[in-house]
Amino acid sequence: MIYHSTYQAAKIAAPKLEAIFAEHLRMAKESGEADLATLPPAALIEHILDATFWASLRKEEGHNTKISLAFVSPEQAGSPLLLKYRLPLNPTTLTKIAPGVERAGVHIGIWFEGNELYVWGTTIVIPNYCFILDVSEPGLLVIKHRRIYGFGKYTNVAVLKGEQIKIVDTTSPRSHDWPTMLLTLLDLMAPSYWNDSVNVLIQLAVSMRAHQRGGTLLVVPSDNNNWLQSIVKPIVYGVQPSFSGLTKLLIEDRKDASQIFWQTALRREVDHLAGLTAVDGATVVNDRYELLAFGVKIGRAKGKEFLDELSFSEPIVGGGAVVMPAAKIGGTRHLSAAQFVSDQKDAMALVASQDGFFTIFSWSVRNSRLQAHRIDTLLL
């Protein structure tokens, strides 16, 4: 039976996604990389997107469908869980199997014969640049791939939400003073490791966004206390001495500890720190990730001017930087964080909104202007 898609965004996005993955695989082959995935043609990508989108709108015993699909053959999936009988790839199949595979790191394996796709089982092992499709909420599809060295968060390629299509833009010329965190998320940096400070900052951002309460994380220099000039006194939730649970893990020699144990401990410390950002006010850490305070109120530093404008961008196709009034960046949380970085130019602020938006604020020395990068598309 031939599958006919009805999700219009899938028809539009499929050819673009095929071209993006084809280019990734071409460059990887030229670089001599091994264990590369098979490229799904646009027709199959359209089928995958369509079936998954409609499944995401369904519920199984009252629960939303949360799944991750990997376009990979069983032969490239390590030691996979294989079903005795193939299942057709359609919304009904995905909805029924979803409750058993919604944990992080578990993928539904899909492959094809002729022009038809089928579910063959599950896997936790995938090849480089494997086409991955994640669903974490109704109507929201995230297309991604594993980083070539397998470390850190997967690299997002595109996000489809209803009729909206956002393609991540990695081709625009990057500024030398973009935050390293942003460059890493765009996969424009050298490989990062679990205990790389930038990768930990990304994990903090993901965890902040996950608690869905909104929050602000201020990252300040460890060699001075100038940040206190921009904080309303007294600080009710000051930490003395500074809490260094995350710091100690980052400097630990992983050769002397179990890798799995260490990663589990890191996630626990990341979630601990990120959880504090849910408290009203901002959480402050230094560049060594020592916790200095939480729940602090931000105020304009003495002698500093009110922030009038900033440069805003989103790393998607068509999301280039535009200069806009600071007041339009968001509510009080965003504006206070923007003012803080404008006053403390050697600091950085990460702001999570309750509605899922996530913004990095940093000072551009090159342009002498505050820059705001909306990165929620990269964190999904």
Distance CA 116, CA 377 (A): 30
Let me know: does 374 contact 358? Beta carbons within 8 Å: yes
User: What region, left, alpha or beta, does residue 136 occupy, with left being phi > 0 and alpha being psi -120 to 50 degrees?
Assistant: alpha
Strand pairing report for 309-313 and 369-374: parallel
Which has the minimum average pLDDT: 39-48, 167-176, 187-196?
A: 187-196
Let me know: does 84 contact 77? Beta carbons within 8 Å: no
Backbone angles phi, psi at 266, to 5 degrees: -65, -45
Which contiguous run of DSSP H or E holds residue 14?
helix 8-30
With pLDDT > 90 as the criterion, what percentage of the chain qualifies? 61
Beta bridge partners of 213: none
Kindly report, residue by residue over 55-89, the tens digit of the pLDDT.
999 988 888 899 999 999 999 998 999 999 999 99
Average pLDDT of the chain is 88
Kindly report, residue by residue over 275-332, the tens digit of the pLDDT.
999 999 999 999 999 999 999 999 999 989 899 999 998 888 887 788 999 989 988 9
pLDDT band at 191 (very low <50, low <70, confident <90, very high): very low
Backbone angles phi, psi at 202, to 5 degrees: -65, -45
Average pLDDT score over residue span 201-223? 92
Average pLDDT score over residue span 174-194? 64
Q: What is the pLDDT of residue 235?
A: 94
* Side chain identity at residue 60, one-letter code: E
Q: What is the pLDDT of residue 197?
A: 54
Radius of gyration of the chain (CA): 22
CA count, 13 A, side-chain hemisphere, 355: 5
- Neighbour tally for 38: CB within 10 Å: 17
pLDDT band at 194 (very low <50, low <70, confident <90, very high): very low
* Helices 8-30/42-56 angle, 10° precision: 130
E strands, the chain, in order: 59-60, 63-64, 67-71, 81-88, 107-113, 116-123, 132-137, 140-145, 155-161, 164-167, 215-220, 238-243, 282-286, 291-296, 309-313, 322-325, 348-352, 358-364, 369-374
CA angle (158 as vertex; 154, 163 as ends), nearest 5: 145
Distance CA 188, CA 148 (A): 12
Decide which of 340 and 357 is more confident.
340
CATH no., domain 190-379: 3.40.1700.10
Decide which of 60 and 171 is more confident.
60
Decide which of 320 and 30 is more confident.
30
- Portions of the chain given CATH number 3.40.1700.10: 190-379
- Neighbour tally for 167: CB within 10 Å: 20
pLDDT band at 254 (very low <50, low <70, confident <90, very high): low
Interacting residues of 275 by C-beta distance below 8 A, sequence separation 6+:
207, 211
With pLDDT > 70 as the criterion, what percentage of the chain qualifies? 91
Kindly report, residue by residue over 6-24, the tens digit of the pLDDT.
999 999 999 999 999 999 9
Q: What is the pLDDT of residue 188?
A: 58
Interacting residues of 112 by C-beta distance below 8 A, sequence separation 6+:
40, 44, 118
Distance CA 328, CA 13 (A): 30
Beta bridge partners of 142: 134, 159
Tokens of 112: 């094809």
pLDDT band at 37 (very low <50, low <70, confident <90, very high): very high
Kindly report, residue by residue over 91-129, the tens digit of the pLDDT.
999 999 999 888 888 999 999 998 889 999 999 999 999
Residue with tokens 């030229």: 30
Distance CA 28, CA 32 (A): 6
Let me know: does 341 contact 330? Beta carbons within 8 Å: no
Q: What is the pLDDT of residue 193?
A: 46
Residue 192 has pLDDT above 50, yes or no: no
Kindly report, residue by residue over 125-163, the tens digit of the pLDDT.
999 999 999 998 899 999 998 766 554 567 899 999 989
Residue 48 has pLDDT above 60, yes or no: yes
